[in-house]
Amino acid sequence: MTKINKLVIPVAGLGTRFLPVTKGVPKEMLPIVSKPTIMILLEEAIDAGIEEVLFVINSRKECIKTFFEMEELYEGKVDDIKEITQSIKINYVYQEKPLGSGDAILKAKDFVGNNPFAIIYGDDLIKGKSAIKELIDDYDKYQSNIIGISKVDSKDLSKYGIIEFNENNEINRIIEKPNINEAPSNYAVLGRYIFNPEIFECLEQLKMQSKNEYQLTEAMTMLMKKQKFYGCKFSGKYFDIGSKIGYLKANIEYALDNDELSIELKEYLKNLSI
Ligand code: UTP
């Protein structure tokens, strides 16, 4: 059985929904309590047995690289970062123009080689059990492409790729940002994937879509004609930290779980006159 040990995390987007801060700081580096999102994502990957990661960055996001470099100044003070760098090999590739998720993933072709691999989007946080581990467990069962899915509110259907799937969780269609009448289900594609390497042949054939972007969804649709795709209903709670409201909700929920903060924060929230 092929072991999934490589992961790609694209973090080279513009972050327009979270401007102006994202002009100066990558959204993937903004703190969830005191950890940047990318650190929590790597912990999820390590829990899943991933051994090597590739960040797709750009020259405005060099601080992501710096973050994982060990400096004497911090010796003994950042053991949790050290633990990560000792558990997973970190690599970088550049996507200088934000030409979409499809273009970002194509940059990982040489790193991935000819094996199935995992993707975690840099702005999609899932709190709870390692979601990418749950996808890998499904890959071991189905030996085919797996997409992380979860139910979303009807009012949010037009923000996501929405899937059409059967009772065996086999996906036969993804509709990008449908309106409520066109949506084939309430299940959205939420930033976790396991793909066979044939996805790269599809990414290479992509045509530019609206907004001058190459969309990963288009490549998935192409591969779906040749290979099976299954939805994995991950058990954790999803936060879109690329949106202001998602970021705020994530901070509150992670802080409520933090022994140092939860009592005072609960008291504070209770006393807010809202
Ligand atoms: P998003 O579409 O959520 O990110 O991409 P974005 O384009 O930065 O967001 P908005 O819409 O402008 O606010 C999901 C992930 O893919 C990365 C992003 O950094 C994010 O982590 N991405 C997106 C790339 O690496 N390259 C791209 O060209 C686009």
- Both tokens of 25, joined, read 């700081």
Q: Is the CB of 15 under 6 A from ligand 1?
A: yes
Q: Ligand 1 centre from 15 Cα, in Å?
A: 6
Alpha carbon of residue 134 to chain centroid? 14
Q: Ligand 1 centre from 21 Cα, in Å?
A: 15
List Cα–Cα distances, 126 to 185, 191, 239, in angstroms. 21, 9, 6
Distance CA 11, CA 223 (A): 24
Distance CA 154, CA 180 (A): 7
Q: At what angle do helices 79-87 and 37-47 cross, to 10 degrees?
A: 50
- Both tokens of 48, joined, read 């899943």
Q: In tens digits, what is the pLDDT along the chain, a chain of 274 residues? A: 789 999 999 999 999 999 999 999 999 999 999 999 999 999 999 999 999 999 999 999 999 999 999 788 888 888 899 999 999 999 999 999 999 999 999 999 999 999 999 999 999 999 999 999 999 999 999 999 999 999 999 999 999 999 999 999 999 999 999 999 999 999 999 999 999 999 999 999 998 877 789 999 999 999 999 999 999 999 999 999 999 999 999 999 999 999 999 999 999 999 997 6
Q: Is the CB of 123 under 6 A from ligand 1?
A: yes
Report the nearest atom of ligand 1 relative to the CA of 97: 28
Report the nearest atom of ligand 1 relative to the CA of 26: 19
Terminal-residue alpha carbon distance, the chain? 54
Q: Ligand 1 centre from 262 Cα, in Å?
A: 32
Q: Is the CB of 125 under 6 A from ligand 1?
A: no
Please report the DSSP string for the chain in residue order: -----EEEEE-----GGGTTHHHHS-GGGSEETTEEHHHHHHHHHHHTT--EEEEEE-GGGHHHHHHHS--GGGTTT-HHHHHHHHHSEEEEEE--S---HHHHHHTTHHHHTTS-EEEE-TTEEEESS-HHHHHHHHHHHH-SEEEEEEE--GGGGGGSEEEEE-TT-BEEEEEES--TTT-S-SEEEEEEEEE-TTHHHHHHT----GGG---HHHHHHHHHTTS-EEEEE-SSEEEETTSHHHHHHHHHHHHHT-TTTHHHHHHHHHHS--
How many Cα atoms are found within 13 Å in the side-chain-facing hemisphere of 31? 4
Q: Ligand 1 centre from 199 Cα, in Å?
A: 19
Q: Ligand 1 centre from 35 Cα, in Å?
A: 20
Q: Ligand 1 centre from 268 Cα, in Å?
A: 34
Cβ-based neighbour number of residue 103 at 10 Å: 22
**Hey, which residues does 126 pair with through a beta bridge?**
238
> In this predicted structure, what is the pLDDT of residue 72?
82
Q: Tell me the best of 8, 9, 14, 193 to mutate to test the pocket of ligand 1, counting ligand atoms within 8 Å of each CB and taking the most.
A: 14
Q: Tell me the best of 42, 121, 206 to mutate to test the pocket of ligand 1, counting ligand atoms within 8 Å of each CB and taking the most.
A: 121
Q: Is the CB of 26 under 6 A from ligand 1?
A: no
Q: Ligand 1 centre from 239 Cα, in Å?
A: 15
